[in-house]
Chains A and B, each alone.
Chain A
Amino acid sequence: EPEVTQTPSHQVTQMGQEVILRCVPISNHLYFYWYRQILGQKVEFLVSFYNNEISEKSEIFDDQFSVERPDGSNFTLKIRSTKLEDSAMYFCASRHKPRFAQYFGPGTRLTVL
């Protein structure tokens, strides 16, 4: 069964450093998302991406964040200058069409020291 994959599974970085989180969505999916989950809290929407552009972003997704689909398979989330409060699990999700289910990857645990 196709699945969303994410790398790395765990990333430790120093405050102020740039990190790139990588995702490979399910191959025939067209809509891509990033969510985050601070430890013990609910999953929060960050950004949606369709047709090579951001379609919607939350207030969390400020100028420090960017997303890119550099080739036909990868979908990345970049945090330019990490803060302590960026420590969370980051989940990538993808969807085939409108009104279809979103499927989540296993997540990347980001720890900012």
Chain B
Amino acid sequence: AQSVTQLDSQVPVFEEAPVELRCNYSSSVSVYLFWYVQYPNQGLQLLLKYLSGSTLVESINGFEAEFNKSQTSFHLRKPSVHISDTAEYFCAVTYYGGSQGNLIFGKGTKLSVKP
């Protein structure tokens, strides 16, 4: 079965520090990759996605993720975090060419940004 591993369940960091949230997926077949964010008491929102093309993708609020096929990773990074980035982040994968399209999620990483 396909799976997504988020290695850190919680990441505490100080404001303006850099952060990396790690994500690895199990499949060797072609994938689409996503990062979703869930702010406190809110629903899931798409942060960024990799479908094809450039392996580095960016979000509008300064996050970026790089697709690394050889390492089956899609780590999320931000060079300087804000208090408002405090949220739970979910890495997810789906497979193109398949018949489903449902997302397979990691367990999530809670990012806590402290002043």
A and B assemble together? no
Chain B residues at the A interface, C-beta cutoff of 8 Å: none
